[in-house]
Structure 1
């Protein structure tokens, strides 16, 4: 019942936003080329459904590939950092460079080195998603209770056993925090990459490339449809990660359990 109520509230809020959008057009006398009506956006989405889905699939593939690569690389780097405090102190600050350097500044270089297309978009997504995963997973691994580490040592556990049977399982909730953050910015990274290197053929590409192309052609209604599709893709990524987090954690970690009393 609570989930149904939440869904109805979300639908009601969405309907109110659409009504406000339409009222701005009615009372502000905004021309269609500046702000098309919701009905116009919905109509162009239906008329150009095939191209919209095609762009959606291209961006989703690049974002998912970059996110998956960042998870694999981020966990691997975190395993190394968790093994040695010296290595962590020497190299961990350099991971902050992935967050401090604007991706729009290095995107032209990646385009120059890798070339236009999915490869560049995936690499940009990988770079923008990597830092949150490293930061959260490393923190989860190094924050294990020292008493548990001593207990493992008392039973003659090797460093590998401590790492994979204690530190890594302990870091899974923190890992999902990083993945949840990266899942949202993966779509941003993919679309940002497509703004620079979205396609190797004119008129065809992912959502980011199609946004630029539609803007240049003054197809404002289709531009709004592409923006809506980008938001939907972000929600899809978030709910997939949230579902995986619940699946892996709800049986043993309090962060994924449904509270009995609110």
Structure 2
């Protein structure tokens, strides 16, 4: 009887996973069909709204240019994300170890977060080389979620466990590495998932600002260039690549989070694929 119950539970879990994959695909297919019908029935010209078929054809025809721009944008995103991850986690650890340091620097981190990056990007392009300025924008946007989530996780350790470590004479570093960082890992990974998408947004904003200044080679620059030339199909193709890149980035970070947490944390238990 227990074997039959486990078998039915397994089939139910498999059906749920299949439904989870199938439903978004159905919605996507309906959206594309509705888009195609809207363009076809209203005879909308391509320079106003291209159909999905034309966007796909443009994506294939312009792939050499768009793929090179995609690589540029992804590389910038990766560099900004890594800088935000290292800087945010390191500063959160310092905040946890010194309240005075947290009180001194946290307000400036908040100011950096709430200042619109579109207002900062032109200034960075003036004072920094273009590649460095674009990476800095990606870093600025992605930095605060990592810092805030990691700080929250480090400060939310179970007091009973912290007291037990203190009772056994654990040093500050032992408590940090063996208790606080493992306990903070779920919230830290949540911050990294958010930062992955935000770093792409920061890179895009900086590339648009660089394109306005007459420089740039990323996907956002191609979008701006296409808008100036009324090449709307290429603009949609570049937007499609940006959306897919964002989905892939989030998916990879979510997979990494699942693999790190699946053996012990409630958020990932029972979700093996």
Task: Output the TM-score relative to the length of structure 2.
Answer: 0.89
SS in 1 for 2:84: helix
Give distance in 2, aligned partners of 1:259 and 1:77: 32
Find the aligned partners of 2:241 and 2:137 in 1 and give their Cα distance.
20
Secondary structure of the residue that 1:96 maps to in structure 2? Answer: helix
8 Å Cα contact 1:58-1:206 kept in structure 2: yes
Q: Distance in 2 between matches of 1:122 and 1:198?
A: 15
Structure 1 Cα separation of the partners of residues 186 and 194 of structure 2: 13
Rounded Cα–Cα distance in structure 1 between residues aligned with 2:79 and 2:17? 32
Contact 1:103 1:124 in 2 (8 A): yes
Structure 2: which 5+ runs fail to align?
Answer: 1-13
- Deviation per CA, 1:5-54, whole angstroms, max 9, x where unpaired? 33222222111111111122123332210101111000011111121111
Distance 2:43 2:235 in 1: 20
Q: Which residue of 2 aligns with 1:8?
A: 22
Partner of 1:131: 144
Q: Is the 8 A contact 1:195 1:209 kept in 2?
A: yes
* 33 and 199 in structure 1: CA distance in 2 versus 1, 3 angstrom threshold: closer
**Aligned partner (choices 250, 255, 261) of residue 267 of structure 2:** 255
Select 2:83's aligned residue among 60, 69, 73: 69
Aligned 8 A contact 1:98 1:130 in 2: no
User: Which one is further off, 28-37 or 229-238?
Assistant: 28-37
**Alignment counterpart, residue 106 of structure 1, candidates 120, 124, 146:** 120
Q: Residue 217 of structure 1 corresponds to which residue in structure 2?
A: 229
Following TM superposition, by how much is the alpha carbon of 1:201 offset from its aligned partner in structure 2, in angstroms?
A: 8.2
Superposed counterparts of 1:54-93, under 5 Å:
54-93=68-107
TM-score (norm: length of structure 1): 0.93
Moved over 4 A (4+): 198-202
CA–CA distance in structure 1, aligned partners of residues 55 and 62 of structure 2:
11
Deviation of 1:194 (Å): 0.5
1:166 equivalent in alignment to 2:218:
no
The answer for the alignment partner of 2:197 in structure 1 is: 184
> Do the aligned partners of 2:262 and 2:271 also contact (CA within 8 Å) in 1?
no
Distance, in Å, in 2 between the alignment partners of 1:220 and 1:157 is 63
Q: 2:107 aligns to what SS in structure 1? A: helix
Q: Secondary structure at the match of 1:23?
A: helix
May I ask how many residue pairs the two structures share in their alignment?
A: 258
What is the root-mean-square deviation of aligned Cα atoms in Å?
A: 1.8
Matched, 1:239 2:256: no
1:75-98 per-residue CA deviation (whole Å, 9 max, x = no partner) reads 100001001223223322221112
Matched, 1:43 2:57: yes
> Do 1:128 and 1:189's aligned partners in 2 also have CA atoms closer than 8 Å?
yes
